């Protein structure tokens, strides 16, 4: 009878060891899956919270100083250097019409 117990004891030990190894592997897989899920949730929150980059400001066309542009030809007209036709041509060029 003593001979019979040893094979059963060996089988029990092997089975118990396999059970513990399987349980440990399942626990590790479950922990890893939970960690992956938490990382995915964190990445989703970060992409939602990240503001979109502001568009680059559009460079405005340089403003034309109409008053300053008309004072020079007006002064030249008053001085008699420009005729009325030349002054009107300079004014039309400045106003773009």
Q: Give the model confidence (pLDDT) of 39-97 as tens digits.
A: 999 998 888 876 667 777 776 655 667 777 778 888 888 888 888 898 888 888 887 75
The count of residues in the chain is 97
Cα(13)–Cα(88) distance, integer angstroms: 111
Those residues whose C-beta lies under 8 Å from the C-beta of residue 74, and which sit 6 or more positions away, are 87
Tokens of 31: 């922990």
| pTM for the whole structure | 0.37
Spans of all domains in the chain:
1-50, 66-95
Return the higher-pLDDT residue of 8 and 5: 8
């Amino acid at each position: 009878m003593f001979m019979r117990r040893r094979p059963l004891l060996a089988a029990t030990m092997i089975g118990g060891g396999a059970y513990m190894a399987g349980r440990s592997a399942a626990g590790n897989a479950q922990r890893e899956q939970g960690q992956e899920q938490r990382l995915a949730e964190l990445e989703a929150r970060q992409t939602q919270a990240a503001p979109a980059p502001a568009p680059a400001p559009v460079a405005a066309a340089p403003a034309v100083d109409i008053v300053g542009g008309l004072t020079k030809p007006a002064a030249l007209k008053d001085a008699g250097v420009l005729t009325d036709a030349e002054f009107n041509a300079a004014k039309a060029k400045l106003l773009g019409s």
